[in-house]
Amino acid sequence: MSTATYAWQQLPGGPRLAVATVPDSECAALSIYVPAGSRDESSLPAGLAHFVEHMVFKGTSRRSARELSFEIENVGGQLNACTTEDHTVYEGRGEADGLPVLADVLADMVWHATFPEAEIALEREVIGEEITMYRENPSDHIGDLISAALWGNHPLGNPISGTPESIQQIDRSTLLDFRNRHHCRTDLIIAAAGPFTLAEVHRALKPHLPKQFHAPWQPLAFDPTATAPQHLTDERETDQLQLALAWHTPGRHHPLRNALRLLSLMLGESASSRLFLELREERGLCYQISSDITLFDETGAFEISAGLDPEARAEPRATRKWPPLGALRRTMRRSEAAGKPWLSRRRPSPRGPWMAPWA
């Protein structure tokens, strides 16, 4: 297995290009990272960034929606995309010699989608069904609840997909304005991996890049002092109780960011983590428990979530008496006391999950 080498450059007046050169690879991966997501909707309908992501697959001035898919699949490739709170990713993968096609089609989608009115109406129905699907799945819906509790009225607290009401407010003009504002920013990142150099990727991309990019857009900053702790519940008849706890943390540029990632790894990111061993393996209080750290530019969140035994809902829920929360506190106290030996044992492993870009 060949070792990858990494290189990047800021294109003159344009985005940053980053390339992982893997000489023996027979595959190509190309992604366009747009630094805008649901947190950039402060004065806009919730779900707009996600709606734009859906619509770029619906045709361009050169290709229909079907032609976009066929052209990639005809060279053994595939397309995908996702929207988060602070970025949207458009990606293509295929055989290494298909890089020119990946570059052409991805660029056409991201910068030349036409947003047909008929497709907008159809996609609004599709997204509405997606919202319903997530809402009716408690293990997904708990994520929206904890975000609302953690971020309050800030756009970070809005569901990424929006709400049935908010997506009705989104029209073609709103979609085009959001695309034009964010898809041609100089802080956009294009990343590629495969058996090619940075110069070779640049040559494949250059004919398809917009002629002009503009300055970055600054989203509404989050002020943690402006929010108070919140407790949100959604009661319904289910076979499992979902629980989530979250705390504000510093952002991705803070010196503590790596310590926070180690804390999450130690507490709940594997079957040998402290919370999993204590609450599931030893006490049988839950089927699933995990922790996660999410870092944004100026803020972040540390979260613990669990799917609890249905009988746990009948237990006393006073803060210090409910068994799952009591066990969680004891586990975290013991983790603090055993921190040094536990970190010594864990030291070789963090490199793995952190280096998996598509995990």
Number of domains in the chain: 2
- Determine, yes or no, domain membership for 213: no
Asked whether residue 31 falls in the same domain as residue 117, the answer is: yes
Asked whether residue 203 falls in the same domain as residue 319, the answer is: no
Asked whether residue 12 falls in the same domain as residue 105, the answer is: yes
Query: By CB neighbour count within 10 A (0-12 exposed, 13-18 middle, 19+ buried), where does 101 fall?
Result: buried
**Tokens in use for 10?**
């800021």
Q: What is the pLDDT of residue 278?
A: 85
Q: What is the DSSP string of 196-244?
A: --HHHHHHHHGGGS-S--BPPP-PPPP-GGG------------SSEEEE
Asked whether residue 175 falls in the same domain as residue 264, the answer is: no
**246-261: burial string, b at 16+ Cβ within 10 Å, e else:** beebeebeeeeeeebb
pTM of the model: 0.88
Give residue-wise pLDDT tens across range 161-220. Answer: 999 999 999 999 999 999 999 999 999 999 999 999 999 999 999 999 999 999 998 999
- Which residues are the active-site residues? 53
Name the percent of the chain lying above pLDDT 70: 85
Give residue-wise pLDDT tens across range 213-264. Answer: 999 989 999 998 877 788 888 888 888 889 999 999 999 999 999 999 999 9
- Determine, yes or no, domain membership for 224: no
Asked whether residue 307 falls in the same domain as residue 350, the answer is: yes
Asked whether residue 122 falls in the same domain as residue 165, the answer is: yes
Q: What is the pLDDT of residue 234?
A: 87
More confident residue, 57 or 330: 57
Q: What is the pLDDT of residue 318?
A: 43
- Determine, yes or no, domain membership for 232: no
Residue 313: CATH number of its domain: 3.30.830.10
Are 288 and 138 in contact by the 8 Å Cβ rule? The answer is no
- For residue 75, the enclosing domain spans 5-208
Indicate the residue among 163, 192, 208 that finishes a domain: 208
Q: What is the pLDDT of residue 148?
A: 94
Least confident segment among 61-65, 97-101, 234-238: 234-238
Asked whether residue 174 falls in the same domain as residue 64, the answer is: yes
